[in-house]
Structure 1
Amino acid sequence: MVMQAVMKSLLQNQEAKPTSSIQFRPGQIFYGVIQKLFPNQHAEIQVGAKKLIAKLEVPLTNGKGYWLQVTSNDGAPKLKLLNTSTPFSQSESSSTSSLLQQLGLHSHKMNHSLIQFLRNENIPLTKEEIVRAAQLLPLANNVEDGLQTIKMMSDRKWPLNEGIFKSFLALGKDESTAQLLHSLRASLLLEKNPTNSGKEIVNLLQSWDSEDAEMVQYGREKTLNQLKQSLHRTGMFYENSLLDREINRESLTESIKPLLVRFLQETSQSNLSESKNIVEQLLFRMNGYQLVSSDNGPIHHLLFEFPIKLGQFQSEILMQWSGKRTSEGKINSDYCRVIFYLDLEHLKETVVDMNVQNRIVTVNIVNSSNILQKLSESLLPDVANGLKEIGYHLSSVNFKLPENLKQQDNKKSRYYSQQSYSGVDFRI
């Protein structure tokens, strides 16, 4: 699915950027190759593409690789050798087995994959963190997704706990928030003795459908209001709202996330129902968006997905905002970038990339149709006038085909659909 591919790409792009120098914490374990030997047991060690000068507890051989552990980080790091057998007599597999034994981990395929991944990606972790990573890996549907998630958590310095791990895994799954909500309602309707919160969830979802059915004409204001309403309905950031004294607490009952939290609180640990499983997946997915939306240096990122119904077509919008905040902590709307990933009934998969520089707006629209530009010509004056009304100037609107469609010579693409369409989904 396109959304799954987009999510994986966004998560990779939002990883913390590596620092220019290597910084270790005492206890961290890493794989390094001895490049040069100096007096007093100092050595230059290659770690991936970087090098450091460190003091070794025992003499090692120039040009050979070792698993090393940081014992002190005062001045030049002090390192001790972990795999005590000489590397001359060890293959990579036996070296990995030796390390696993010292860590108290079983020498099976998944743990071998973890150690080899840490080595290849130059990820330093403490013994406790490696053991925890080995416990988390079986929770992933496949090892590669689990390893990439561990890498991202390490890069961003998040603790290796089950909740964060499952939250990121949930973002990469095929089922969207809209699909999960649909499955949850169907499951709750089949339950013989639903909880009070289960009944409230069903009533809320049904009321949303009734409201959406009334909105069949889409003017600019109605579309904007529905977008705001759809985002509010998820309650994705409701924890922050609880800290806001001016927020209307009653409005929180109109969003789904607080009800999902209460549902789990009312459901016993021994209850392994389908509804409980779907609720957990929804909360992990919502929490995952919150985690990737956390501040990271001077540039801030917001990433969220919310269901939206356009006429009778149920879809979702994945939105990414990147930019700086003002000195008051508010979003700087003069300089930012907003990207919408849309799956529409007629236009199919579409990306709208809006870049704002000093309130001058440039828009790039990516879609598999080569006639979208012509279809949009009559709408562009309205777009320019609408932006002008709120103090922005439209510089240009560019239409592009997905790169992978060009490369595959118009064959069916993995990420974008080429199905023909007629009609327009909605006007902005």
Structure 2
Amino acid sequence: MFQTNYVNTLLKGLDPFHQKSLLLRPGQFINGEIVKIYPGQLASIRLRGVTLTAKLEASLIAGSRYWFQVQPKEGLPVLKVFGDGVGDDKIPQQLSLNSKLNERVVKSLVQADLPFTRDQVVRGAEMLQSVGMADEQGLSILRLLVKKNLPITPATTKALHSMSIGQGFAAHLDELLYLLKSEKIKEPLLVQVQQVLETITTKGNIKVDQHIILDLLRTYIKDDTKAVQSEEARLLLQKLGIIEQQSPKEVVAQFKETITKTDEAHLKQIWPILVREQILLQLTNGKIDDLLTKVVLEKNEDGERTLQQLLSLFNAKGDKSLLSSVFQQEETVGKQLTSIIQQIGFQHERNARQFFLFKDQNSETFLTQLKALLIKSQQIQLPSSIESKIEAIINQITGQQLLSINQEGPMVHQSVMIPLKLFGETTDLTIQWEGKKEQDGKFNPDHCRILFYLHLRKIKDTVIDVQIQKRIVSLQIYNEFDKPEALINVFLPYLKKSLTKLNYQISSLKWTQPKQSQKNNNKSNPVSPVNRLYQPHRQYQGVDIRI
């Protein structure tokens, strides 16, 4: 799924947000090429794909590559030439790193073109040895820790490893909830964990405006609907349990037959101004579309009841648990997602610091969030199945925290993975934001970019790229299947209406199939598909240095 692909992309050192940038830290070793030398002891130097202007204080040759070490100086970064024409293979020896694992670590970092310190190599090798991950996957995680300047510890390594092994976050939560229910443990702390998981599951059940169901039905049964669009509508209606394996004509025939057997009072609740004979006459004249248009659905319990009664005329065996997922929810999706993020405890360490340092009573709620409860539950005796699942979830939450924020110049990149249930299917939604933050710490809503990564059973991997400029929204959807015209035609008007209420306007919607769009790409380019999909607005560079 895209969530896993996204994490694996990061673990390989390829950031899908933006191209390589340069951040130099004292003690780092970095390889660079002197591109050109200019009068006045100036030179162009290329470090990690970034071309900089350097003030030369050493005799260097244009076109040659050198190893440099970043010096702890104030002001402009200072690079000191390391050794005399030292080759990549001699770096471990020059740094007195003579063990085989140290050499593998250095080689891995050099091949990834990552600046590193001697201490990072030593601690990295020790860490990989201690956790039993002295393999390529362990090295890829170490590269990410070095790249993002994260602590090199067994805990951070296990956290990132948990995100690369494939199982989704939502699946982990579902499994723990199942284990807690089946074990029937009376321990108060685990009961509290179960309640929080149930809350997250409830909040994660994203519902859709009930009018969409009427539009899907109308799309399916209309005579002038194209075959492809009719099939798209049928698949979704079947998924919701509204129809079975029936053609549009069979659906209408069953609908008409059911109406003849239905109590008049029941029909009056759906069509208050029509009697049975008028309803049947419209069906006989092929005006079922007009008939469905006359159904009024209020955005309350009465509207839900009316829709249930209408759908029962199509299929009395409809799955009510699935149908409940299409009724209008009380909260907005934004509030639902915010609530889930808070319940999981992605701000656990920050809230703990606020609470213990500043005695902030408002931060005390972090103690009832999932991560805090799971950490506390590790202190009690647990069945091995529950213990291992709790550890996996803690590692996944921590891994997300480690990868969630990155800043390059004035641009901030932030991401989060949220467990959801869409049309009865459990999945993970990964959201990534790119933009400038205002003084209040929030992204500028007029100019930003948002990506949604989603995996669903029918349409598989999907990326939705939302670009906002002056509150004008352009959408680009990446999916390997053909464009679902019927579903887009049904959902787009509701999306436009909702965005208009927030003072946004949609300028375009484009559907792109990645396999086709990538056929002309350079096959030697090692960048992953997700990385190709996301191209940066700009790259921040232009650092001046002294050599």
Q: TM-score, normalised by structure 1?
A: 0.72
2: CA distance, partners of 1:192 / 1:112: 51
Does the 8 A contact of 2:120 with 2:146 survive in 1? no
Over aligned residue pairs, what C-alpha RMSD do you find?
4.4
In the TM superposition, what are the counterparts of 1:387-398 in structure 2 within 5 Å?
A: 387-398=499-510
Q: Secondary structure at the match of 2:127?
A: helix
Q: Deviations over 1:300-330 (max 9, x none)?
A: 2221111112343211211111111223332
The match for 1:219 is: 328
Question: Is 1:175 paired with 2:177?
Answer: no
Q: Name the residue aligned to 2:7.
A: 7
Shift of 1:35: 10
Please, which of 126, 139, 152 is the counterpart of residue 147 of structure 1? 139
Distance 1:240 1:111, change over 3 A: closer
Q: Deviations over 1:84-127 (max 9, x none)?
A: xx98xxx976x477458x23x532xx443212123333434332
Distance 2:327 2:140 in 1: 41
Give the deviation of 1:169 after TM superposition.
Answer: 2.8
Which residue pairs with 2:346 in the alignment?
236
2:117 paired residue among 126, 130, 146: 126
SS of residue in 2 equivalent to 1:339: strand
Is residue 285 from structure 1 mapped to residue 396 from structure 2 by the alignment?
yes
Contact 1:178 1:307 in 2 (8 A): yes
Matched position secondary structure for 1:13: coil
5+ residue gaps in structure 2?
37-43, 206-320, 521-527, 531-547
Give the aligned residue type for 2:442: K
Give matches, 1:96-107, under 5 Å. 98=93, 102-103=96-97, 106-107=99-100
SS in 1 for 2:511: strand
Amino acid of the structure 2 residue aligned with 1:106: S
Provide the residue aligned with 2:450 in structure 1.
338
Contact 2:411 2:435 in 1 (8 A): yes
Structure with more contact order per residue of length (Cα contacts < 8 Å, sep ≥ 6): 2
User: Offset at 1:73?
Assistant: 5.6
Q: Secondary structure at the match of 1:125?
A: coil
The CA distance in 1 between the partners of 2:69 and 2:503, in whole Å, is 57
Which of 487, 490, 494 aligns to 1:378? It is 490
Name which of structure 1's ranges 191-200 and 305-314 shifts more when overlaid on structure 2.
Answer: 191-200
Give the deviation of 1:342 after TM superposition.
1.4
Q: Distance in 2 between matches of 1:92 and 1:304?
A: 37
1:64-213 alignment, distance < 5 Å: 77-78=79-80, 81=83, 95=90, 98=93, 102-103=96-97, 106-107=99-100, 110-138=101-129, 139=131, 143-188=135-180, 196-206=188-198
1:354 & 1:273 partners in 2: Cα distance?
Answer: 43
Tell me if 1:329 matches 2:441: yes
Distance 1:92 1:155 in 2: 19
- The code of the aligned residue for 2:104 comes to S
SS of aligned partner of 1:9: helix
**Cα distance 1:189–1:383, how it changes in 2: closer, same or farther (>3 A)?**
closer
1:312 pairs with one of 407, 418, 424: 424
Q: Which residue of 2 aligns with 1:41?
A: none
In the alignment, structure 1 residue 349 sits paired with structure 2 residue 461 = yes
Letter in 2 for 1:237: Q
Taking the aligned partners of 1:371 and 1:122, their CA distance within structure 2 comes to: 39
Q: Secondary structure, in 3 states, of the residue corresponding to 1:377?
A: helix
User: Compared with structure 1, are the counterparts of its residues 187 and 54 closer, same or farther at alpha carbon in structure 2 (3 Å cutoff)?
Assistant: farther
Question: Please, which of 263, 270, 284 is the counterpart of residue 377 of structure 2?
Answer: 263
Identity of aligned residues (%): 25
CA gap of 1:18–1:325, structure 2 versus 1, over 3 A, is: closer
Q: 1:348 and 1:69, CA in 2 relative to 1: closer, same or farther beyond 3 A?
A: closer
- 1:137 partner amino acid: L
Please tell me the residue identity of whatever aligns with 1:341: Y
CA deviation after TM superposition for structure 1 residue 165, in Å: 3.1
The residue that corresponds to 1:18 in the other structure is: 21
What is the CA-CA distance between 1:5 and the residue it aligns to?
Answer: 0.8
User: Partners in 1 of 2:371 and 2:501 — Cα distance?
Assistant: 35
Moved more, 378-387 or 203-212: 203-212
Deviates further, 316-325 or 61-70: 61-70
Give, in angstroms, the shift of residue 372 of structure 1: 1.0
Q: For 1:150 and 1:351, how far apart are their aligned partners in 2?
A: 28
Partner Cα distance (1:97, 1:78) in 2: 18
TM-aligned CA distance change 1:275 to 1:130, over 3 Å: same
Provide the rounded CA distance (Å) in 1 between the counterparts of 2:503 and 2:184. 55
**Equivalent-residue separation in structure 2 for 1:45 and 1:283 (angstroms):** 43
Q: Who wins on radius of gyration, i.e. which is larger?
A: 2
User: What displacement does 1:344 show?
Assistant: 2.4
For 2:202 and 2:328, the matched residues in 1 are separated by: 19
Q: Distance in 2 between matches of 1:33 and 1:357?
A: 38
- Contact 1:289 / 1:304 at 8 angstroms: preserved in 2? yes
Contact persistence 1:324–1:332 (CA under 8 A): yes
What letter matches 1:399 in structure 2?
Answer: W
For residues 323 and 64 of structure 1, the distance between their equivalents in structure 2, rounded to whole angstroms, comes to: 38
Instruction: Report the Cα distance in structure 1 between the residues aligned to 2:529 and 2:364, rounded to whole angstroms.
Output: 41
- Gaps spanning 5+ residues in structure 1: where? 37-43, 409-413, 417-428
Structure 2 counterpart of 1:39? none
User: 1:329 and 1:116 mapped to 2: Cα distance?
Assistant: 40
**Greater helix share, structure number:** 2
1:364 maps to which of 471, 476, 500:
476
Give the superposition deviation at 1:346: 3.6
Give the drift of 1:357: 0.9
| Kept after mapping to 2: 8 A contact 1:188/1:194 | no
Whose strand proportion is higher, 1 or 2? 1
* Contact 1:356 1:362 survives alignment (8 Å): yes
Q: Is the 8 A contact 1:71 1:80 kept in 2?
A: no
* Deviation (angstroms), 1:345: 4.2
Shift in alpha-carbon separation, 1:69–1:193, aligned structure 2, 3 A: same
SS in 2 for 1:306: strand
Which segment is superposed worse, 221-230 or 115-124?
A: 221-230
Q: Is the 8 A contact 2:66 2:82 kept in 1?
A: no
State the 1:179 CA deviation: 1.4
